[in-house]
Amino acid sequence: MVYEPPKEVLEKYANVLISCALNSGAGVKHNEVVLLQVPECAKPILLPLQRAVLRAGAHPIIQYLPDGISREFYDLAGEHQINFFPSKYLKGRVDEIDHLVSIIAEHDMHELEGVDPKRLMAKQKAFKPYMEWRDEKENSGKFTWTLGLYGTEVMAAEAKLSLEEYWDQIIKACYLDREDPLAEWRRVLSETERLTQALSAMQITSLHVQSVGADLTIGLDRNRKWLGGTGRNIPSFEVFTSPDCRKTNGYMTFNQPLYRYGTLVEGIYLEFKDGKVVKATAKKNQDVLEEMIATEGANMIGEFSLTDVRFSKIDKFMAETLYDENFGGEHGNTHIAVGNAYKDAFPGDPSKVPKEQWKEMGYNESVVHTDIVSTENRVVTATLEDGTQKVIYQDGKFTI
């Protein structure tokens, strides 16, 4: 018999996503509009999500995504269809909704394997205006979103786990085994806020990441703050910022695989000089990595993140970035994202910053934002404005 998560677990899960993750931890409010994007293989979570939205007095809009449509699109679409952008429809959608819940679930982990990466990148580039509209609304405080994971047999198999073991990771990570998951999440969000405020107040000018496979310096400046506990992802234990993309130097190896458009990229090594990737190699599917890095802006960093082992209960590889970037295990994790920066790392009001000023401040811009993860034990040392140095992270834990 195929394992199915208990109904009470799905009800708790939906409640966490709707009543905590959205609206930066405050949950959905009366009369707001929530778009629910749910794949066919995650159908059991759909009704619990709708119920949670309705109980909050809000309005659900459902986008149900049949399995297999992505591969068929890329197999059949001509160039004009790849580059088509339904501007009126998508602008209307952005204007209408207050929140978005996207459920990640796969019926085939390798559905897009073999598709020309150039076609995949072209489609993503065509939808750049949609992401800009979303970002603009989010930066003005009028839109929030979150991601949640629904485990399937193929996802579990890819991670070399049984489906029950896979769901055990989801249940532990989201505190769904607790009587009151919302209370646990609010505790974590409160501690995360303490860390982000402490880091933001330190006036860090650079970070030095050192491990067996890394010697990387990342530049920051006054126009940055640290983020975490925004509810963007459930689970989310990471504490992160968007560096000055022009000031990355050194190298880093990543011992966790990356799934990109259904393709597994393993053994990634990135080397930077003056912000840009000057060498990118992978032991498996290097061509996919190279094509991604070749996308405009994807050869520079948009995010640097650390996860504390005391927060995260995730201790198994999940073959999904949402969980692998929040890995706790023995040493926590460090990950960087190549590509687009988070503008809400700006300490002021992002909506009032002229577009050209973002570049002047070193905020990277790209249609790509791809997290690449390392779980090596590492030391992260901050250099402060007065020149002093302070270890902020060691043995998988923040030291501040």
What pLDDT does 35 receive?
99
What pLDDT does 117 receive?
86
Examine the fold and report which residue of 153, 183, 213 is the final residue of a domain before the chain moves on: 183
In a domain, 206, yes or no: yes
Do 342 and 252 share a structural domain? yes
Do 50 and 130 share a structural domain? yes
Give the pLDDT band (50/70/90) at residue 157: very high
Give the pLDDT band (50/70/90) at residue 259: confident
**Total structural domains within the chain:** 2
Do 115 and 222 share a structural domain? no
Q: Is the pLDDT at 221 greater than 90, yes or no?
A: no
Domain span including residue 30: 7-183
Q: Is the pLDDT at 358 greater than 80, yes or no?
A: yes
Do 273 and 305 share a structural domain? yes
Q: Is the pLDDT at 345 greater than 90, yes or no?
A: yes
60-106: pLDDT as tens digits: 999 999 999 999 999 999 999 999 999 999 999 999 999 999 999 99
Distance, in Å, from the CA atom of 14 to the CA atom of 193, rounded to the nearest integer, reads 24
Give the pLDDT band (50/70/90) at residue 37: very high
High-pLDDT (> 70) share of the chain, %? 100
Q: Identify whether the C-beta of residue 71 lies closer than 8 Å to the C-beta of residue 115.
A: yes
What pLDDT does 31 receive?
98
Strand-pairing partners, residue 210, are 215, 379
Examine the fold and report which residue of 146, 165, 183 is the final residue of a domain before the chain moves on: 183
pLDDT, mean of residues 123-147: 94
In a domain, 1, yes or no: no
In a domain, 382, yes or no: yes
High-pLDDT (> 90) share of the chain, %? 87
Find the range with the poorest average confidence among 133-137, 167-171, 247-251.
Answer: 133-137
Do 235 and 366 share a structural domain? yes
Do 151 and 194 share a structural domain? no
Do 240 and 92 share a structural domain? no
Do 270 and 210 share a structural domain? yes
Q: Is the pLDDT at 220 greater than 80, yes or no?
A: yes
Residue 46: CATH number of its domain: 3.40.1830.10
Examine the fold and report which residue of 183, 207, 238 is the final residue of a domain before the chain moves on: 183
In a domain, 87, yes or no: yes
In a domain, 2, yes or no: no
What pLDDT does 24 receive?
83
Do 203 and 174 share a structural domain? no
In a domain, 120, yes or no: yes
Do 281 and 214 share a structural domain? yes
Do 214 and 113 share a structural domain? no
Q: Is the pLDDT at 318 greater than 80, yes or no?
A: yes
State the average pLDDT for the chain.
95
Do 178 and 196 share a structural domain? no
